[in-house]
Chain A
Amino acid sequence: MEIINKLIDKSALATLIERFTKSGKEVFAPVKSKGISEFARVETIQDIDFETIATKQSAKSLVFPKVEKILSYEKTFDDVIVNNVDYTQFPEVIAFGNRPCDAAGFIPLDAIFAGELVDEIFKARLEKLTVISISCKKADDYCFCTSVNGGPGNTTGSDILLTETTADEYFVEIVTEKGKAILDANTDLFKDTAAIDKTPFLAKLEQQFTQEVINEKLNGIFESDIWDKQAMRCVGCGACAFVCPACGCFDIQDETKGKNGVRHRCWDSCGFKIFTLHTSGHNPREKQAQRWRQRIYHKFSYQPEQQKLFGCVGCGRCSRACPSDMNIAEHLKEIAVL
């Protein structure tokens, strides 16, 4: 649909959030606790951290939690009874105050989970999710959304995008039908406006490379020694993948007690040695460098080939979380000039 432009002032925004929570919707927004900003359930606008550039973890757990029960089972004398999770009963969730990069992250996740094969649980969560993002006024040394087709005021993946134009007012872009449903139910809170140029209100972020160039370069450097060089200091943890808004790999874990059991889906990471370990003991990605290479190829070569999109939104969370300062933008820049 065509974007609808509106204005909303901050007290009206507070009312909007109150109306969400009062109508039974669960609102998740960045909340600062003990110095760390993370997405958490909020009741009022006062709970929300509007300042932090990026929460430590992404908003992906709203549709792809770190652990979720997908079914339970019970062994009987001659059968197994399987009970799937009732995914028709998920609550309506509002992601509020996330950044445009977080919103963009839902698109590659959707391609992974609801592409050729549809994951009903994921799909049900995503259908119940409305994304109200806020444009970025600031960027830090880790941000690189403008190098991966994103931007501090990008609407991709958002249902509504808010851009702070004055101390008291946001410029509102209603992007999707879900966004329009919110507008229609709350017309008293929004004011009419013509489209505005958002540029003066957005962070300035220089483009360092293009994802198309990375994609092209990857065609000839699978055996390059660059992977060894870049991955030398990688400690082999999964922090990068787990904080990434676009990483969708998971592990299935059954926990059985007596005749009953539960099947869980949990986050997994291609950075782990065990991720590709075969039963025979052979590991096709024996070295950390091969696992690092996989991370880059998956996002910039395999996903473009298979799903016609890139698996990185340039939020920089992996670089911020890395215990040994593996900076993905810096590494991609190195690849771009090979």
Chain B
Amino acid sequence: MEDIKKLARELLADNKVQLVLGFENGTANRVRPAFFTTPEAVDKLIYNEFCIQNIALYLKKDICQHAASLAITANPNVVRSILQLAAENQIKEEKIKIIGITHEGKCVGLLDFKAAEEFSKTQPKGLKDEDKALIEKIQAMSLEEKFDYWVEAFSPCIKCYACRASCPMCYCGKCNVESNNPQWIPVAPHKYGNMEWHMMRAMHLAGRCINCGECNRSCPVDIPLNILSYMLSDFVLEEFESEAGLSAVFTPALSSYTMVDKENFIK
């Protein structure tokens, strides 16, 4: 952690960045996102195994948009998010200094986008054993059973939109669900309103999601949205040989067309 702090302090002291985005201690044993603007403030910066919130989310918020340049303590999920945001023209390389941190918490120093791409390839996205078990269980289901499973899984949704608000890839200024003329998605958190909302969000993220799992972590009613996204990512990889978060130059499979695209899903 000391090497991360040293790097953050130097970047601020040498005026290389105006802002460092990282973590500080929170309530009890929790940690929380924090914004450091002076070398002295960095004393409070921490990094440990609890720092799993995907803080790349804040890159699209006012505080980061208004900073001329910034640094971010970036675990593999954050690095993948930055590359994907760059691929979608949401962040420029010259604005951001990535302080790379491995899954094990080891600081690998500053990463430019090329180094970040290499780093991403060596830091595969992880899945917990219970997540793997759930995926296997769902994959073994028939189409009807899958549909019933997700209807049931979405039913506790209260439409607080924490999944959307916590997702670095959900950066639209106006979400489709807020469009009311016409009303594409029912706002009410009833069975079909929940189903349509989560299906719509999943489809908008298919091939773009970097599988950080933040949607599930932030969900107050613990819907396994990360599983849905993970299965879709797997599907996109299989069908289009395309994976988000590995390169700053990338066209999401569902936003592009190539002559080799399979059409065998049209039945």
- A residues near B, CB below 8 A? 34-36, 38, 56-57, 66-67, 140-142, 232-233, 235-239, 241-243, 251, 253, 255, 264, 266-267, 269, 272, 274, 287-288, 319, 321, 323-325, 327, 330
A242's partner among B158, B218, B222 (CB-CB below 8 A) is B158
Bound CA span A330–B190, Å: 35
Contact A57 B27 (CB under 8 A): no
Q: Is the CB of B193 within 8 A of A67?
A: yes
B222–A237 CB distance below 8 A: no
What B residues does A269 contact at CB under 8 A? 160
Among B193, B214, B221, B222: residue with most chain A CB under 10 A: B221
Say whether B27 contacts A325, CB under 8 Å.
yes
**Complex CA–CA separation, A264 to B165 (angstroms):** 24
* Cβ A239 vs Cβ B33 within 8 A: no
Residues of chain A contacted by B159 (CB below 8 angstroms): 66, 238, 266-267
In the complex the two chains form, is A237's CB within 8 Å of B221's CB? no
Contact indicator B165/A236 (Cβ below 8 Å)? yes
The verdict on B35 contacting chain A, using a C-beta distance below 8 Å, is yes
B190-223 vs A, Cβ < 8 Å mask (1 yes, 0 no): 1001000000000000000000001001101110
A251 neighbours in B (Cβ, 8 Å): 187
Bound state CA distance, A319 and B26, in angstroms?
11
Q: Give every chain A residue within 8 A of B222 (Cβ-Cβ).
A: 34-36
Taking Cβ atoms with an 8 Å cutoff, the residues of B that contact A are 26-28, 30-35, 53, 57-58, 61-63, 156, 158-162, 164-166, 178, 186-190, 193, 214, 217-218, 220-222
Residues of A within 8 A of B218 (CB): 235, 237, 239, 323
Q: Which of B30, B162, B189 contacts A235, CB < 8 Å?
A: B162
- Cα–Cα distance between A94 and B221 once the two chains are bound (Å): 23
Are the CB atoms of B161 and A272 closer together than 8 Å?
yes
B196 to chain A, nearest CB (A): 11
B221 contacts which chain A residues (CB < 8 A)?
36, 38, 56-57
Bound-state CA distance A239–B190 (Å) is 17
B178 near A325: Cβ-Cβ < 8 Å: no
Sample of 14 A–B contacts (CB below 8 Å): A38-B156, A56-B220, A57-B158, A66-B159, A67-B188, A141-B28, A232-B35, A237-B165, A239-B162, A266-B189, A319-B27, A321-B220, A323-B218, A325-B32
Q: Does B27 lie within 8 Å of A242, measured CB to CB?
A: no
A272 to B30, CA, bound (A): 25
A38 to chain B, nearest CB (A): 8
**Bound state CA distance, A238 and B187, in angstroms?**
14
Contact A266 B162 (CB under 8 A): no
Q: Quick check: B53 and A324 within 8 Å, CB to CB?
A: yes
How far is A149 from B159 in the complex, measured between Cα atoms in Å?
A: 31
